[in-house]
Amino acid sequence: MGNNKNTAQLLLHCPDMPGILAEVTNFITINKGNILYLDQYVDRVDNIFFMRIEWQLDDFLIPREKIYDYFQTLYAQKYDMKFKLHFGDHLPKLAIFVSKMSHCLYDILSRYAAGEWNCEIPFIISNHENLRGVADMFGIPYHVFPITKENKTEQEQKEMELLKSNGVDTIVLARYMQIISDKMIEEYPNRIINIHHSFLPAFIGAKPYNQAYQRGVKIIGATSHYVTKDLDAGPIIEQDVVNITHKDTVDDLIMKGKDLEKIVLSRAVKKDIEHKILVYNNKTIIFS
């Protein structure tokens, strides 16, 4: 694809029926769009067709501000489609939420600083001062909103004003140790990414690594998912595991767990930035 960011990406799903693939590709080719990527999948159980397609806009006949309306009128209504349209030159804006643990934050910011991710991180939000030094090191504004039972609603309201005024697309919870309220989840549906310290579903409650150690587990894992109103039960984006043995101490488990958490979270965020994820019925379809 080179450095040409003048592209459009369409993610869609609808009831499966013959001819949809041909219709969508035809829409692009007759309007002089050059298709760069196409991936599709049919869920045979629910009979749903999923697709992601990307094309170059250099010679495309439909002005970009009218593509959405055209597609809605010509195809979405006809096939009962739900779709999202993204443009390659729009940099998604990510807000990072942290508490006191730094491993995920360091990983995200080092990838961001190295230019691995095509996004913007306008600021970091925390409920503690602890990681301000990390934010300063990377030159990113750091906002602290201390949270107590009494002020939680009011503080979240301030956070949401900050998110809105900066046009944030996605929230990344990089080991943010607070429950996100239903109101914020409603504002950012499938746009809040969390990292969980285990291979969900797994040991619940505090000190999961101590529980894992006591049970003599042979693998530990990490899970990244979108946040929904059901705690730790949102659509799973990315998971991974690492082997351990009886020789590993609790500290070893924690260290291996942190390594996994940061890599699993970063993989999930990258997929989100690249618009490779489609959520359907609390499940994710992840395009290659």
Residue 43 CB neighbours (<10 A) = 15
* CA separation for the pair 165, 126 (Å, rounded): 18
With cut-offs at 50, 70 and 90, classify the pLDDT of residue 209.
confident
Q: What is the chain's mean pLDDT, rounded? A: 93
Average of pLDDT values for 61-71? Answer: 96
Tell me what pLDDT residue 202 has: 63
> Please, are residues 235 and 283 in contact by the beta-carbon 8 Å criterion?
yes
- Residue 206 predicted with pLDDT over 80: no
Each residue of 141-182: pLDDT tens digit? Answer: 999 999 999 999 999 999 999 999 999 999 999 999 999 999
> Please, are residues 84 and 161 in contact by the beta-carbon 8 Å criterion?
no
Reading the block at residue 3, the tokens are 């450095």
Q: Is 89 a catalytic residue?
A: no
Tell me what pLDDT residue 32 has: 97
For a pLDDT cut of 90, what percent of the chain falls above it? 86
* CA separation for the pair 176, 182 (Å, rounded): 16
Reported pTM:
0.91
**Which residues neighbour 45 within 8 Å (Cβ) at sequence distance 6 or greater?**
none
Reading the block at residue 210, the tokens are 């101590």
- Residue 288 predicted with pLDDT over 50: yes
Tell me what pLDDT residue 232 has: 82
| Catalytic pick among 16, 39, 43, 232 | 232
With cut-offs at 50, 70 and 90, classify the pLDDT of residue 1.
very low
> Please, are residues 196 and 223 in contact by the beta-carbon 8 Å criterion?
yes
* CA separation for the pair 189, 186 (Å, rounded): 6
Average of pLDDT values for 211-234? Answer: 87
**Which residues neighbour 220 within 8 Å (Cβ) at sequence distance 6 or greater?**
198, 199, 209, 212, 241, 242, 244, 253, 256, 257, 260
**Which residues neighbour 241 within 8 Å (Cβ) at sequence distance 6 or greater?**
199, 219, 220, 221, 260
Tell me what pLDDT residue 2 has: 44
